Amino acid sequence: MTRNDEDPVGAGALDRVTWALRRAELAVQTLKEQRLRPLGLAASHYTLLISVHSEPGLTGAELARRLNVTPQAVASLVARLESRGQVERREHPRHRHVQELHLTDAGRAMLREADAVIAGIELQITGALGPKGSAQLRDVLDQVADVAREA
Amino acid sequence: MTRNDEDPVGAGALDRVTWALRRAELAVQTLKEQRLRPLGLAASHYTLLISVHSEPGLTGAELARRLNVTPQAVASLVARLESRGQVERREHPRHRHVQELHLTDAGRAMLREADAVIAGIELQITGALGPKGSAQLRDVLDQVADVAREA
DNA sequence: TCATGGCTATCAAGCGTTTGACAGCTGACC
DNA sequence: GGTCAGCTGTCAAACGCTTGATAGCCATGA
């Protein structure tokens, strides 16, 4: 009674790839949030820290594009992390009122801890999938992202 | 300069499976939102409609657990869809102040349209991956979700 | 030289969600 | 029969993000 074969609506909707994708991402994100909480860090904070770490000197607007959020959202996160002394805003050499983002020593230390947590989660997943399966999954996911983006 | 091989923090962080998962899910979700907008429907609305369709008589609290959100969020969505006449709240036979959720005819019609859109997106992805690759991806994603959930 | 376009950051308002707390009802255990 | 745990739904407040609009600065071209 939970399935109506005469009605094409939702036929196999729960078996769709996009549905499985949503469930997996949600579960992983929830796990990250749980494990990061003891450090006093939200997943979005970690994302910002590692983004700034991998591309120092990023501006707020550019970072917003990387993370697919609005500049205001980034500004809000930066303000919080700055008040904790984990991120600092420096003046851009050319554009005066543009601010480059950099990690402080405290920020790097925090990132080190947080990244260990995330790496642990990654290890759990890759451990279950095997190195070959993991690499394959990564490639397929990138393919999915490309298809969705240019569709 | 964007990569510091001496510092283990974030080594290959951008190549992680969980990162690729996030990117893919974000791209797909964004695409859904774009394609659903012309119908005047948000992705969360569609999710609620198809959930109620596949399991009629669901209560708000139970639906909240299915979707990994709070009961208030569900109540908010239901209130909106109810005001549009797409969902109705019936009294539970046993528990009087518990409400079962059901789709109206208008709701089913809307779902039919929306589901065609989603099915189209699914087809684009499975088309790029092939039937075998799609099924395989689905299985691996479910495996990832399981690992993350019971970790 | 000056004007225009494009980028930056920021303010204000609105929406949706979560968190915390509450009251009502049912079912099971004592 | 009475009590307590567990569920339901709802209210109030706080948080985070988006949308819309504004101001400042640099670069290109007339």
- Residue B102 pLDDT greater than 70, yes or no: yes
- Residue A146 pLDDT greater than 70, yes or no: yes
Task: Report, as an integer, the average pLDDT of A116-141.
Answer: 97
Residue A48 inside a domain? The answer is yes
Nucleotides of C under 7 A from a protein CB: 7-13, 16-20, 24-27
- Give me the pLDDT at residue A87, please: 97
- Asked whether the beta carbons of residue A2 and residue B32 sit closer than 8 angstroms, the reply is no
- Residue B1 pLDDT greater than 60, yes or no: no
Distance from first CA to last CA of chain A, Å, rounded?
36
- Give me the pLDDT at residue B94, please: 82
- Give me the pLDDT at residue A57, please: 95
- Give me the pLDDT at residue B111, please: 96
Residue A6 inside a domain? The answer is no
At A94, the pLDDT band (50, 70, 90 cuts) reads confident
For residue A34 the two structure tokens come to: 């749980």
- Asked whether the beta carbons of residue B18 and residue A32 sit closer than 8 angstroms, the reply is yes
- Give me the pLDDT at residue A8, please: 65
Provide, as residue numbers in chain A, all residues whose Cβ is less than 8 Å from the Cβ of B112. 8-9
More confident residue, A1 or A97: A97
Residue B143 inside a domain? The answer is yes
**Residue A122 domain boundaries:** 41-145
- Residue A89 pLDDT greater than 80, yes or no: yes
- Give me the pLDDT at residue B117, please: 96
- Residue B5 pLDDT greater than 80, yes or no: no
The whole-number Å distance from A71's CA to C4's C1' is 25
Residue B7 inside a domain? The answer is no
In this structure, what DSSP letter does residue B120 have? H
In this structure, what DSSP letter does residue B46 have? H
Inter-residue long-range contacts of A1-8, CB under 8 Å, 24+ positions, other chains counted: A1/B56, A2/B54, A2/B55, A2/B56, A3/B54, A8/B112
Residue A59 inside a domain? The answer is yes
Residue B9 inside a domain? The answer is no
- Give me the pLDDT at residue B13, please: 82
CATH code of B107's domain:
1.10.10.10
User: Strands B87-91 and B58-59: what pairing?
Assistant: unpaired
Q: List residue ranges whose Cβ is under 7 angstroms from nucleic strand C.
A: A 59-62, 71-72, 75, 95, 97-99; B 44, 69-70, 72-73, 76-77, 80, 94-97
- Asked whether the beta carbons of residue A122 and residue B3 sit closer than 8 angstroms, the reply is no
Residue A60 burial (CB count, 10 A) = 18
- Residue A52 pLDDT greater than 90, yes or no: yes
At B105, the pLDDT band (50, 70, 90 cuts) reads very high
- Give me the pLDDT at residue A150, please: 87
Task: Report, as an integer, the average pLDDT of A33-40.
Answer: 95
For B7-54, the pLDDT digits (tens) are: 567 667 888 999 999 999 999 999 999 999 999 999 999 999 999 999
Closest C1' nucleotide to A98's CA? C8
- Give me the pLDDT at residue B32, please: 97
Domain count, chain B: 1
B95 burial level (CB within 10 Å; 0-12, 13-18, 19+) = exposed
Identity of the residue in A17, A108, A137 whose CB atom sits nearest the CB atom of B17: A137
- Give me the pLDDT at residue A9, please: 74
- Asked whether the beta carbons of residue A149 and residue B27 sit closer than 8 angstroms, the reply is yes
Residue A23 inside a domain? The answer is no
Residue B33 inside a domain? The answer is yes
- Give me the pLDDT at residue A7, please: 55
- Give me the pLDDT at residue B7, please: 55
Contact B121, B32 (CB under 8 A): yes
Residues 6+ apart with CB under 8 A from B61: B71, B74
* Mean pLDDT, chain B, whole residue set: 93
